[in-house]
Amino acid sequence: MGAYKRIGILTSGGDCAGLNAVIRAVVHRASTYNWDVWGIQQATKGLMARPPQVVCLEPTEVDTLLTMGGTILGTTNKGNPFAYPMSDGSLSDRSNEIIEGYHLLGLDAMIGIGGDGSLAILRRLAQQGGINLVGIPKTIDNDIGITERAIGFDTAVNIATEALDRLHFTAASHSRVMILEVMGRDAGHIAISAGIAGGADVILIPEIPYTMESICQKLRSRQERGQNFCLIVVAEAVRTESGEPVTRQDADGTRRFEGIGHYLAERISACSGAETRVTVLGHVQRGGIPSPLDRLTAAAFGVAAVDLIAEEKYDHMVTWQNRQVVSVPIAEAIAQYSTVDPNGTLVKTARGLDICLGS
Ligand code: F6P
């Protein structure tokens, strides 16, 4: 048994199902070493506050977290600490306040659960301020290249697949074209996985350019076979035919992907005369009870992250590779952004099933 440690844990970036299951696993594993775990609230904001905003996480209190959606610690995907938006509209570098917060708490190490953007920021803070950081990948987008799985992806795919299962019957009953718009940022992983699993007829992803003619040709060939309905899945970052992203502006000026489903609905009606309806699944994909696979991944990642701290193997992220959890340098992990491989197995599978990918 090594020396006593006090470890901090924070969740950063967009929430997803399975974050609380990771927190639970970390607390349980740390208790086997007789270490304490302090939960840092609202990502790095908790370390910026004075006094730093933390809660002591007791093993006896975390059991109900296994199935709970969201994150009990809170999170944010805004406010880069190196260019932090201040109330007067200026941007300020507040990195040293966060680093000071970590040291004020007397932490020996910190586990950061985040996507590529959050992990890049946490690593920069760690390098600058001597923070002993271990990373755990989470993102419904599954776009961190070095790991086959990130927390939250499987649940998001389950939810999108269930949506398709439900849309199937109403589409068939009304002979309609049903368009399901899913999240994923610039990667089409959710769209292609849920599209195949949910029996979509057309799957559009940012990685494969499409033409309206090929979609309408698919509708016509289904009609010729007496199939008067169609299920289309589109990833949020798919562009218009002329290559424009379809976005909506938030009150703070940030542009977010939203609206490609409605764009396609209009264009498909115009070219085929079909009756179209759109479902934008949105944040439903991030909420709710984590799938068994996400819980399992959360458990394995949580245990492995604490074990990395026991080995004092910092600046590493736990990853899932070849059916095992291994660790890789965080710098390597965030350098590899993963999109859907247009020549990969899932694309070949979709084409093999005669699913139209728009090209
Ligand atoms: O990265 C996760 C994600 O859910 C993306 O799929 C989506 O584009 C984005 O976050 C939405 O962000 P917000 O929660 O700020 O609307």
Query: Any idea which residues carry the catalytic annotation?
Result: 141
Distance 185 CA to ligand 1 centre (A): 7
Average pLDDT, stretch 163-187? Answer: 98
- Contacts for 244 with CB less than 8 Å, ≥ 6 apart: none
Answer whether 333's CB lies under 8 Å from 319's CB.
yes
Q: Which of 288, 276, 292 is nearest to 167 (CA)?
A: 276
Q: Which of 77, 140, 166 is nearest to 288 (CA)?
A: 140
What is the best residue among 140, 142, 155, 234 to mutate for testing ligand 1's pocket, by most ligand atoms within 8 Å of CB? Answer: 140
Rounded to an integer, the average pLDDT of 289-313 is 98
The total of other beta-carbon atoms located within 10 Å of residue 171's CB is 21
Residue 121: in which H helix or E strand, if any?
helix 116-129
Instruction: With residue 327 as reference, give the H or E element that holds it.
Output: strand 324-329
Residue length, the chain? 359
Domain 6-151+290-321: CATH class, spelled out: alpha beta
For residue 3, the model assigns a pLDDT of 94
154 forms bridges with which residues in the sheet?
Answer: none
> Rounded CA gap, 40 and 35, in Å?
16
C-alpha 195 – ligand 1 centre gap (Å): 19
Is-same-fold flag (6-151+290-321; 155-286+342-352)? yes
Per-residue confidence (pLDDT) for residue 11, from 0 to 100: 98
3-state SS assignment for residue 249: strand
What are the structure tokens assigned to 309, written together?
Answer: 């701290």
Find the mean pLDDT for residues 285-306.
97
Average pLDDT, the chain: 97
Is the pLDDT at 112 greater than 90? The verdict is yes
Q: Summarize the chain as % helix, strand, coil (round to 5).
A: 40, 20, 40
- Residue among 199, 195, 234 nearest 215 (CA): 234
Is residue 33 over pLDDT 90? yes
Q: Is the pLDDT of residue 1 over 70?
A: no
Q: At 97, which amino acid appears?
A: E
Place of tokens 């909420």: 287
Q: What is the pTM of this model?
A: 0.97
14 lines ligand 1 (CB under 6 A): yes
How much is the pLDDT for 104?
98
DSSP alpha helix (H) spans, 256-355: 260-272, 292-310, 330-335, 345-352
Query: Collapsing DSSP states into helix, strand and coil, what is residue 160?
Result: helix
Domain boundaries, the chain: 6-151+290-321, 155-286+342-352
Whether 206 is in the pocket of ligand 1, judged by its Cβ within 6 Å, is: no
Please give the full DSSP string across 84-117, using - where no structure is assigned: EEPTTS-EE--HHHHHHHHHHTT-SEEEEEE-HH
pLDDT at 217 over 90: yes
Asked if residue 278 has pLDDT above 90, the reply is yes
Spacing of C-alpha 294 from chain mean position:
12
Q: Hey, whose CA ends up nearest to atom 14 of ligand 1? A: 14
Question: Which of 11, 255, 256, 283 for mutating ligand 1's site (highest number of atoms within 8 Å of CB)?
Answer: 256
DSSP state, 33? T
What is the spatial distance between Cα 281 and Cα 173, in angstroms, rounded to a whole number? 21
6 labeled binding residue: no
Q: Which two tokens stand for residue 21?
A: 């299951």
- 319-324-327 Cα angle (round to 5): 35
DSSP per-residue string spanning 186-208 = T--HHHHHHHHHTT-SEEE-TTS
Identify the band that residue 253 occupies on the pLDDT scale cut at 50, 70 and 90. confident
Of 141, 135, 132, which Cα lies nearest the Cα of 120? 135
Task: Decide whether any atom of ligand 1 lies within 6 Å of the 255 Cβ.
Answer: no
Other C-beta atoms closer than 10 Å to the C-beta of 352 total 9
Pick among 3.10.180.10, 3.40.50.460, 3.90.1150.10, 3.40.50.2300: CATH of 155-286+342-352? 3.40.50.460
For residue 170, pLDDT over 70 is answered with yes
Beta partners for residue 256, in sequence order: 248
The pLDDT of residue 71: 98
Residue 130 has pLDDT above 70, yes or no: yes
Averaged pLDDT, 325-347: 97
> Which SS3 state, helix, strand or coil, does residue 13 take?
coil
**Cα–Cα distance, 152 to 17 (Å, whole number):** 5
Q: Are strands 6-11 and 36-40 parallel, antiparallel or unpaired?
A: parallel
Shortest CA distance to 174 belongs to which of 278, 279, 277?
Answer: 277
Of the candidates 323, 325, 306, the one whose C-alpha atom is nearest the C-alpha of residue 314 is 306
Confidence band of 101 (pLDDT split at 50, 70, 90): very high
- pLDDT of 252: 82
Ligand 1 center to residue 285 CA distance, Å? 10
| 245-249-255 Cα angle (round to 5) | 50
Residue to mutate (ligand 1; options 151, 159, 183, 249; most atoms within 8 A of CB): 183
| 3-state SS, residue 244 | coil
Model confidence at 16, pLDDT cuts 50, 70, 90, reads very high
